[in-house]
Amino acid sequence: MNYRITTKIACRLMALYFFILSINYLPSFIINLIYYSKSMDNVGFTIIISLSYMLPLLIMSILLWIYSEKAAALITKESVEGQAVQSVNISNIAIIAFTVIGLYVLINSISDLARIITSYFAYTREMGVNIENYLYKDFIPNLIKELIRLVLGTWLTFGSKGISKAIKAVRELGTQTIEEPKQ
């Protein structure tokens, strides 16, 4: 089994998923442009808010697709040739799985952080929203949630080897025999 090729395929599938997810925001972007182009008062605001949903996901998907080979090399740490391994190593598969899940969480959190921060500046400057009400009801809770997801995604992506070892150690705890204390 070639872990590097498998990881590259997983990264490309995730890039494709994020691309499709970003395209889902395209109809609302077009509808908002058509709707607000009549009044021309808040066109800039509409463009910023609409793009803050779509653009980060689109950029991340393109970067993940282009650099999937390098990401796979970083995740699997195999040689450039990616020689096939004869036996399946469950520990390596677990590390790859945790890293890919971490990438997923990380990309989602970066995209949502960009949207939240853009929305904050757009709402407070353009719309004149009551800043205190917006801060406590929407901005701060969402910002904290996304920062937690960012930390979790980073930990899963870059600490997956340690997570895999910890799970293996816990799994092996149950197979060890418990000795009776000597009296």
Q: pLDDT tens digits, residue range 58-70?
A: 998 999 889 988 8
Return the pLDDT at 38. 66
Residue 28 has φ and ψ, to the nearest 5°, of -70, -35
Question: Which is it for the CA torsion 169, 174, 175, 180, positive or negative?
Answer: positive
Alpha carbons within 13 angstroms on the beta-carbon side of residue 139 total 17
pLDDT tens-place string over residues 109-138: 888 888 888 877 776 766 555 666 666 777
* Mean pLDDT within 22-36: 76
Please tell me the distance from the alpha carbon of residue 120 to that of residue 93, in angstroms, as a whole number: 40
Residue 16 to residues 59, 65, 69, 85, Cα–Cα distance (Å): 12, 8, 15, 27
Please tell me the distance from the alpha carbon of residue 133 to that of residue 13, in angstroms, as a whole number: 40
Residue 122 has φ and ψ, to the nearest 5°, of -70, -45
Checking if the pLDDT of 83 tops 60, the result is no
Residue type, 183: Q
Return the pLDDT at 79. 47
Are the C-beta atoms of 67 and 31 separated by less than 8 Å? no
